[in-house]
Amino acid sequence: MNAAADTETEPDYRFTLANERTFLAWIRTALALLAGGVAVSQFYVPRGGSAFHDALGAVCILLAALVAVGALMRWRSVQSAMRRAVPLPASRLVPAVVAGVCLAAVLGVVWAAT
């Protein structure tokens, strides 16, 4: 490990604020997914059965929790990388959100088709 990576310095405040804005954007995404999951679970009247609409609501709510936790972890890792002047870590949050949204979309299509 290089010595520069062991020392921490205060990054330019603009980068810190940009990191915070990105974190807040992820939190807005989590809140939207949470609201969508609650809406599907509580306000849609199931046709014939509630299995698909329950699954769709659960996927949205679980994805919201994953996004919120992932956003915090990402914010911390980026902030730490900036302080240590090392390259930013790759994001695992984006592929997870894409997979979750695709799953919710498939459940929504199946539910709508029944």
In a domain, 90, yes or no: yes
What is the domain range of residue 46?
A: 15-113
pLDDT of residue 10: 87
In a domain, 5, yes or no: no
pTM greater than the 0.85 cutoff: no
- Collapsing DSSP to helix, strand or coil, 87 comes out as coil
In a domain, 3, yes or no: no
In a domain, 60, yes or no: yes
pLDDT of residue 76: 96
Q: What is the pLDDT of residues 69-91, one digit of tens each?
A: 999 999 999 999 999 999 999 99
pLDDT of residue 3: 53
Contact assessment for residue 110 and residue 52, using Cβ atoms and an 8 Å cutoff:
yes
In a domain, 43, yes or no: yes
Domains in the chain: how many in total?
A: 1
In a domain, 10, yes or no: no
Question: Which residues does the chain have with pLDDT short of 50?
Answer: 1
The encoded tokens of residue 10 equal 């205060």
Tally of CB atoms within 10 A around 111: 20
pLDDT of residue 95: 93
In a domain, 1, yes or no: no
pLDDT of residue 49: 62
